[in-house]
Structure 1
Amino acid sequence: MAPLPLAADSPTATAADLRRDAFHGVLYMLGAALGFSLMSLLVKVASATFPTMQIVFLRSAFMAALTYAVLRHDGVPATGNDRRTLALRGAVGATALSLFYLGIGRLPLGDAVTIQYTAPVWTALTAALLIGERLRGRVLAGAALSMLGVMLVARPSFLFGAGVALDGWGAAAVATAAVLSGLAYTFVRKLRATDRPMTIIFYLSWIGAVGSLPFALTGAWVWPTGWEWPLLLAIGLATHAGQVGLTKGMARLEAGTAASIGYLQVVLAFAWGALFLGDAVDGWSLAGAALVVSSVLLVVRRAKAR
């Protein structure tokens, strides 16, 4: 079954159709930011008890089962159409998420999220190289403003000092995850022409489950008890929500535009830290949050004008 057509794919699409598609894309990306910010918080909590690859496996297995059930219900073949790109996106995306989870366990949450959210830079570059998207000035300005805001919100110790040295392996893991995430977002953009969002997520999930299982079994497996079961389930649900929003948003927006909106995740992660982890709220953080929100509004304005 062919993917559902978007307004941008129709030769008879009106300006209103294009604006509606872009607006829906913005909403999906905002939902992705919410889902991924909750995922980061929950993974940080779970990392105190469970090995990283066990979290990755359980999350991926849950998402694979859920997306497969949705595909069966909709009568869509799980194998997809552009299998090569689906497999590449799945392998790259699963590796990126695994490395990010590893980094969250080894770094302060703000530092990890800051490094990860250099991904839009890599998205814009890889989209220009691989699928011919043009680097637009407004998107680049929004990305630069976002990066500045992210730095003020997270205040990474490798730039601001604070007497805390970053774990080298953790920083390398998240930096690699950021590059791979940018590439994965570009694959999602390419797949909009051939495959449905749930098919893309299914490949990410089953490849992540298969790839992480050997590492999970050879490590120190920890059986969940009591409240740890709903914690792990919530990680799967938050990740699934983020992936659905990301995949559908990327199908409706240019890669650089969509990825730049994702910077809002940092503001949300800052809010969760203040509410649930006792993180202090200060002027630097508020100034950074204002810059990130401003950059999102800038990118949204560009998207609605497409």
Structure 2
Amino acid sequence: MLEVFNLVKDRYGLLLAILASFMYASVSIIVKVLVQTLDPLQVIPISLIVTMIGSLFFVLQQRVSLPTSFTDYIWLSLSGVMLISNTFCFVYSVSFIDAGNTVTILYTSVMLAGFSSWLFLKEPLRLLEFCFAFLALLGVVFVSRPSFVFGNDQMDTSDNENTLIGVGFALVAACSISLQFTFVRKQSQLGIHSLFTLFFNSIVAVSVSAVAVIASGKWRQPTFEEALLAILCSSLYFVGQCALYLALKVEK
């Protein structure tokens, strides 16, 4: 029993990453339901609002010190841009393909993070990561089932186009997530508190997406059921983000 406890204690970062994956999978299902009645652009800010408010509460409650270096804010801005990018692409991907397929493609971000860490953090790139990246690429091919590989099967032209669009959005989201992983780890190395990173990223994403949905005229008052789903979605996303940021702080 003691050995199990020590193992969990030593690798609790991996357990946090597993928790984050479960939260994100749950979010994917709820987003799939929301985009049936709400415009995908409107789903983006409401899926992040609890993250913004919750992280602000903890920043104030723990009296987290603000970064003072201009370089710190450059890295914070980069991760904020990646958050809005991956959230936008994720929501639109779910509106085109099954949530399970979107989540499957998003998991390739873990393999892609090895390349971005090598590029930005100068970490070694191992042969195993190339093998995993190749397997991930095969998985994407089987999800998208392009006609030039599988030929024209039972899917009609419109369904095939929707699948390719959804897969394209999911791939961009995966790349953005991998870059966000790397930028967040860089911020941890610079001494930026993970709660402030979470707050800064969420306020950038909520602000940009809110302006976009209002300017496009696609905002409408959610129903009571939609509001409850949005709050649940945002809460699960907040828990997932907290777990992920803590995992990135302690794991490679």
In structure 2, the partner of 1:178 is 174
Whether 1:130 aligns to 2:127 is no
Measure, in 2, the Cα distance between the counterparts of 1:192 and 1:240. Answer: 19
In structure 2, the partner of 1:96 is 86
In structure 2, the partner of 1:111 is 101
In structure 2, the partner of 1:213 is 210
Q: For structure 2, which runs of at least 5 residues remain unmatched after alignment?
A: 1-5
Whether 1:228 aligns to 2:226 is yes
Q: Which amino acid aligns with 2:160?
A: A
Measure, in 2, the Cα distance between the counterparts of 1:99 and 1:146. Answer: 19
SS of 2:11 mapped into structure 1: helix
Give the deviation of 1:166 after TM superposition. 4.1
Give the deviation of 1:223 after TM superposition. 1.4
Match of 1:55 among 43, 58, 61: 43
Measure, in 2, the Cα distance between the counterparts of 1:248 and 1:140. Answer: 26
In structure 2, the partner of 1:121 is 111
Question: What does residue range 181-196 of structure 1 map to in structure 2 within 5 Å?
Answer: 181-193=177-189, 194-196=191-193
Give the deviation of 1:71 after TM superposition. 0.6
Give the deviation of 1:101 after TM superposition. 0.7
In structure 2, the partner of 1:302 is none
Measure, in 2, the Cα distance between the counterparts of 1:240 and 1:90. Answer: 15
Q: Are residues 151 and 177 of structure 1, via their aligned partners in 2, closer, same or farther at CA, if it must alter by over 3 Å?
A: closer
Give the deviation of 1:199 after TM superposition. 1.1
Cα displacement string for residues 239-281 of structure 1 (whole angstroms, at most 9, x for unaligned residues) = 1111111111111111xxxxxxxxxxxxxxxxxxxxxxxxxxx
Measure, in 2, the Cα distance between the counterparts of 1:151 and 1:174. Answer: 10
Give the deviation of 1:171 after TM superposition. 3.0
Whether 1:165 aligns to 2:160 is yes
Q: For structure 1, which runs of at least 5 residues remain unmatched after alignment?
A: 1-17, 255-306
Measure, in 2, the Cα distance between the counterparts of 1:144 and 1:239. Answer: 29
The TM-score, its normalising length taken from structure 1, stands at 0.69
Please report the RMSD computed on the Cα atoms of aligned residues, expressed in angstroms. Answer: 2.6
Q: Which has the higher contact order (CA 8 A, sep 6+)?
A: 2
In structure 2, the partner of 1:85 is 75
Give the deviation of 1:209 after TM superposition. 0.7
In structure 2, the partner of 1:25 is 13
In structure 2, the partner of 1:251 is 249
Cα displacement string for residues 162-220 of structure 1 (whole angstroms, at most 9, x for unaligned residues) = 52414244333222112111111111111112112211111121000111012211232
Measure, in 2, the Cα distance between the counterparts of 1:93 and 1:57. Answer: 12
* More displaced 10-residue stretch of structure 1: 216-225 or 46-55: 216-225
Measure, in 1, the Cα distance between the counterparts of 2:173 and 2:229. Answer: 24
SS of 1:227 mapped into structure 2: helix
Contact 1:71/1:78 (CA < 8 Å) preserved in 2?
A: no
Give the deviation of 1:27 after TM superposition. 1.0
The TM-score, its normalising length taken from structure 2, stands at 0.82
* More displaced 10-residue stretch of structure 1: 99-108 or 78-87: 78-87
Measure, in 2, the Cα distance between the counterparts of 1:162 and 1:110. Answer: 20
Measure, in 2, the Cα distance between the counterparts of 1:116 and 1:80. Answer: 34
Q: Are residues 166 and 114 of structure 1, via their aligned partners in 2, closer, same or farther at CA, if it must alter by over 3 Å?
A: farther
